[in-house]
Amino acid sequence: MSILAVNEVSYTYKSKYQTVEAVSNVSCTFEAGKMYAIVGHSGSGKSTLLSLLAGLDLPTKGEIYVEDQPMSKLDRDRYRRETASVVYQSFNLFPLLTALENVAYPMELRGIAAKEARKTGKELIASVGLEERICNQLPLMMSGGQQQRVAVARALASGGKILLADEPTGNLDTVNGEIVVEILKSLSHERGYTVIIITHDMGVAEQADIVYTMKDGKITV
Ligand SMILES: Nc1ncnc2c1ncn2[C@@H]1O[C@H](COP(=O)(O)OP(=O)(O)OP(=O)(O)O)[C@@H](O)[C@H]1O
Ligand SMILES: [Mg+2]
């Protein structure tokens, strides 16, 4: 069974002046334990598709199934809190929270006691290869590579097994980009996560098990 199945999905942005079909009749599936790359030119619909997979929006046509449940019938707030997390190019850490507080936050949202959240948070920070001293640092004090690893740790804190990333290496140098991709790869292959990465970097795409290429809102083969 696929963990995510996209079935004839389209998404149209409508404004007063124009209508753009950003995702156009896309069907594809995603399985646990695999790393996927979505590639394609700027404007081809990658981020729009990712936001649908993240449950931020519903398709205007078609349906996405999460373990055979239609997304349109799910509690999407809960899906975003507990099942699917997104990592962005610009890290998007809370600037006034320390690394550990950033990572503990999604657990506290789920009702986990502060002490337990801090303990698990420390383990998650260690699991992405960061030293313990990072725990007490604010995002501004960290390098881009460190911030992105904290962002991955925070995504893991949601406890969900779907990890979505929009250009996660876009703001990183080659070495840090490779470290982050290695972490994402091992999460998929060793811990059963479904990892879906949008990337412009062919070196990153080469690391994926499966590559989907988008063009004009469609997946081409
Ligand atoms: N909020 C929006 N309102 C209207 N149109 C939008 C909106 N967001 C995206 N679009 C349009 O939808 C299409 C797909 O955009 P999308 O952001 O999904 O592309 P992308 O493949 O992620 O591009 P990039 O590689 O530049 O990030 C583009 O034509 C874009 O202009
Ligand atoms: Mg994009």
Per-residue pLDDT of the chain (221 residues; tens, 9 = 90+): 799 999 999 999 999 999 999 999 999 999 999 999 999 999 999 999 999 999 999 999 999 999 999 999 999 999 998 999 999 999 899 999 999 999 999 999 889 999 999 999 999 999 999 999 999 999 999 999 999 999 999 999 988 999 999 999 999 999 999 999 999 999 999 999 999 999 999 999 999 999 999 999 999 97
Please tell me the predicted confidence (pLDDT) of residue 110: 87
Nearest ligand for residue 214 CA: 1
Please name which of 110, 114, 87 lies closest in space to residue 101, comparing C-alpha atoms: 114
Q: Are 54 and 84 spatial neighbours (Cβ–Cβ below 8 Å)?
A: yes
Q: Residues with beta carbon inside 6 Å of ligand 1? A: 13, 20, 22, 40, 42-48
Ligand 1, atom 30, lies closest to the CA of: 43
pLDDT digits (tens, 9 = 90+) for 140-157: 999 999 999 999 999 999
Which of 16, 19, 46, 53 to probe ligand 1 with, by most ligand atoms within 8 A of CB?
46
